C-alpha cells in the first residue's frame, strides 16, 4: 500500500486508541460497577469539553471523562449540581469561548431546569447558580442542549441553545438572541463542538450539522459508539493503527491570520493548534469542497488562504467557513507569476512576500504588487522539499518525516550548509513516535 493511501486510511485516533474494555452489563445497560454502560446505547443528557480538553458525557447522575473508561458519579466532580438541587441530571452544557472577555473564556456552564452553574477547574464560581435569564437574557429554561460557536465558525462568538427544533443563537458580546427553526435536524438531547465540527446527539446516534444554517451533509445519523467511544463490535474504518511519525509526509502546512494551523497530506487535512482537544484527520473536501485531489502547496495572506494544485491557484475567504472566491481557480502564471510544479509555499507573519519553492530554488513574489512577478530567484541548499512554513521560531521546510529549521527566509536563501534534520514528533502532528 502506498504512503498516500496509508495517510488516508490510517486515522490518528488518539482519543480512541487507549480505551478500556467495556464492563459486563445487565439488560438495563448497567455495568458491574453499578453505573450505566454507554456501549449499551445511551441518549446523553449533555456533552461538553472541559477547560483541559477532556470531553465530558453526562447521563442522569453519572458522567464519563473522555472517549474511554467507565461511568462515575457526576457529583464527585461537580458536587453542587446535586447538593444544591438534588436533580440528578444536567439539561445542557457547554465550554465558553469568548475573545472579548477572558474572564469567561474556558469556563464550563451547566443548565438545570431554570438555573445555570458556572465552573472552572471543577470549582463552582462565586455567585452561582443563577437564573438563566441573569446570564443569558432571552434564553428559555428547560433546555435540551447547548454548544459554543466561536467567531469565524459563526458570525460572532455565540452559543447555540436547543429546545425542540428551535435554536436560540445567543450573541455573547451584545447579549441578544436570534431564533431559528431547523426542522430537518433531529431534536438534540445534547450537542458538541469538536475540532470545528458540530454534532447533534439524539438517542444513541449523532448528526453532524452546519452551525450557521443547520444544514446536514452526508449520511446521517450515525451510531455514536462507532466514533465517540471505544466499544466492542463498533468502529469506523476497520482495524486501523495510529500513524507513525516516520510515515508522515506533508503536502502543505499553513497558519491563517486567526492562528488556525492546518496540515495537508493527500486528501486529508488536520488542524494542529487544537491539540488540547485532540488531533484528528478529516477529508479536505469537508472544509474546502473544491480540492478533490488534495493540494501541492498552501499559504495564508490577509484573511485568505491560497492553495496551489498543478497549474491552478484556489483562493478561499476565511470568514464564516471557507468559501472559494468567485472566479477561482485561476492559472498559476496569471495569479502568482510563476510556472511549473510548486513543491511548497510559505509566508512570514505580517509580510507581503510569498516564498515559493520549486525543486532546489526559492522564488519570491510580492503579493502587494500588481501584476505579481518573481522579485528574487535563488538556489536553496535542500532539495526535495514537500512543505514549508514561517513563524515566530523561524522557517521550517519539511522533507518526508523530517524538517530543517532556518532563522529566516534570508538565511535559507544564503545558506550553503544543510542544518541537522529534525524529526516530526507526536507533539507536532499527533502521530505515534
What confidence score (pLDDT) does residue 53 get? Answer: 93
Q: Is the pLDDT of residue 242 over 80?
A: no
Structural contact between residues 415 and 381, judged by C-beta atoms closer than 8 angstroms:
yes
Give the whole-angstrom CA distance, residue 85 versus residue 81: 7
**How is residue 67 written as a grid cell?**
472517549
**pLDDT for position 238:** 43
Mean pLDDT of 178-202: 96
Q: Is the pLDDT of residue 247 over 70?
A: yes
426: left (phi over 0), alpha (psi -120 to 50) or beta: alpha
Per-residue pLDDT, 320: 66
The long-range contacts involving 78-82, CB below 8 angstroms and separated by at least 24 positions, are 78/110, 78/117, 78/119, 78/122, 78/124, 80/117, 80/124, 80/129, 81/110, 81/112, 81/117
**Are 167 and 182 in contact, with CB atoms under 8 Å apart?**
yes
Q: Which domains does the chain have, with CATH numbers?
A: 18-226 (2.110.10.10), 245-429 (2.110.10.10)
Asked if pLDDT for residue 84 goes beyond 60, the answer is no
Cα gap 259→41, rounded to integer Å: 38
* Higher-confidence position of 9 and 193: 193
- Compute the average pLDDT of residues 58-63: 92
The per-residue pLDDT for range 304-341, each reduced to its tens digit, is 999 999 999 999 997 767 899 999 999 999 999 999 99
What is the spatial distance between Cα 102 and Cα 96, in angstroms, rounded to a whole number?
10
pLDDT for 99 equals 81
What is the reported pTM?
0.84
Q: How many CA atoms lie within 13 A of 91 on its CB side?
A: 18
DSSP output for 39-98? GGT---SEEEE-TTS-EEEEETTEEEESSSS--EEGGGTSHHHHHTT-----SEEEE---
Q: By the 8 A CB rule, do 228 and 67 touch?
A: yes
Strand, helix or coil for residue 331: strand
CB neighbour list of residue 344: distance below 8 Å, 6 or more residues apart = 252, 297, 356, 357, 385, 386, 387, 388, 397, 398
Question: pLDDT exceeding 70 applies to what percent of the chain?
Answer: 88
- For the chain, what percent of residues have pLDDT higher than 90? 74
Whether residue 27 is predicted with pLDDT greater than 50 in this model: the reply is: no
Residue 115 has pLDDT above 70, yes or no: yes
What does 237-258 look like in DSSP terms, one character per residue? SSS--PPBGGG---SEEEE-TT
Please say if the pLDDT value at position 34 is more than 70.
no
Could you report the per-residue pLDDT of 331-346, keeping only the tens digit for each? 999 999 999 999 999 9
pLDDT in tens, 278-296: 888 999 999 999 999 999 9
Amino acid at each position: 500500500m502506498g504512503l498516500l493511501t496509508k495517510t488516508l486510511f490510517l486515522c490518528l485516533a488518539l482519543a480512541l486508541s487507549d480505551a478500556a474494555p467495556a464492563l459486563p452489563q445487565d439488560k438495563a445497560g448497567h455495568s458491574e460497577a453499578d453505573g450505566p454502560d454507554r456501549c449499551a446505547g445511551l441518549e446523553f443528557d449533555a456533552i461538553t469539553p472541559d477547560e483541559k480538553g477532556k470531553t465530558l458525557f453526562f447521563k442522569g447522575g453519572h458522567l464519563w471523562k473522555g472517549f474511554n473508561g467507565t461511568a462515575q458519579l457526576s457529583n464527585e466532580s461537580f458536587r453542587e449540581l446535586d447538593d444544591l438541587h438534588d436533580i440528578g441530571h444536567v439539561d445542557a452544557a457547554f465550554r465558553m469561548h469568548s475573545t472579548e472577555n477572558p474572564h469567561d473564556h474556558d469556563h464550563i456552564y451547566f443548565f438545570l431546569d431554570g438555573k445555570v452553574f458556572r465552573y472552572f477547574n471543577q470549582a463552582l464560581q462565586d455567585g452561582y447558580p443563577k437564573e438563566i435569564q441573569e446570564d443569558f437574557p432571552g434564553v428559555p429554561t428547560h433546555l435540551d442542549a447547548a454548544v459554543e460557536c466561536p467567531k469565524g465558525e459563526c458570525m460572532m462568538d455565540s452559543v447555540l441553545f436547543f429546545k425542540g427544533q428551535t435554536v436560540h443563537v445567543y450573541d455573547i458580546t451584545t447579549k441578544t438572541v436570534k431564533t431559528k427553526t431547523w426542522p430537518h435536524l433531529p431534536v438534540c438531547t445534547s450537542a458538541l463542538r469538536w475540532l470545528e465540527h458540530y454534532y447533534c446527539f439524539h438517542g444513541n446516534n449523532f448528526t453532524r450539522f452546519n452551525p450557521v444554517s443547520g444544514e446536514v451533509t452526508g449520511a446521517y445519523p450515525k451510531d455514536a459508539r462507532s466514533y465517540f467511544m471505544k466499544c466492542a463490535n463498533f468502529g469506523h474504518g476497520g482495524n486501523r493503527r495510529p500513524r507513525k511519525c516516520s510515515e508522515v509526509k506533508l503536502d502543505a502546512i499553513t497558519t491563517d491570520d486567526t492562528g488556525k494551523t492546518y496540515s495537508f497530506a493527500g486528501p486529508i487535512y488536520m488542524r494542529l493548534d487544537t491539540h488540547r482537544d485532540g488531533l484528528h484527520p478529516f477529508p479536505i473536501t469537508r472544509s474546502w469542497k473544491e480540492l478533490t485531489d488534495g493540494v501541492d502547496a498552501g499559504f495564508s495572506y490577509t484573511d485568505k488562504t491560497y492553495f496551489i494544485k498543478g497549474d491552478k491557484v484556489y483562493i478561499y475567504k476565511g470568514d464564516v467557513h471557507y468559501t472559494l472566491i468567485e472566479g477561482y481557480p485561476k492559472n498559476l502564471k496569471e495569479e502568482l507569476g510563476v510556472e511549473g510544479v510548486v513543491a511548497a509555499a510559505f509566508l512570514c507573519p505580517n509580510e507581503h512576500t510569498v516564498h515559493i519553492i520549486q525543486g532546489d530554488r526559492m522564488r519570491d513574489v510580492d503579493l502587494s504588487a500588481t501584476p505579481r512577478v518573481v522579485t528574487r530567484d535563488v538556489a536553496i541548499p535542500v532539495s526535495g522539499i514537500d512543505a514549508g512554513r514561517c513563524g515566530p521560531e523561524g522557517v521550517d521546510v519539511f522533507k518526508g518525516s523530517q524538517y530543517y529549521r532556518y532563522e529566516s527566509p534570508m538565511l535559507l536563501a544564503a545558506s550553503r550548509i544543510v542544518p541537522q534534520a529534525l524529526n516530526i514528533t507526536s507533539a507536532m502532528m499527533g502521530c505515534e513516535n
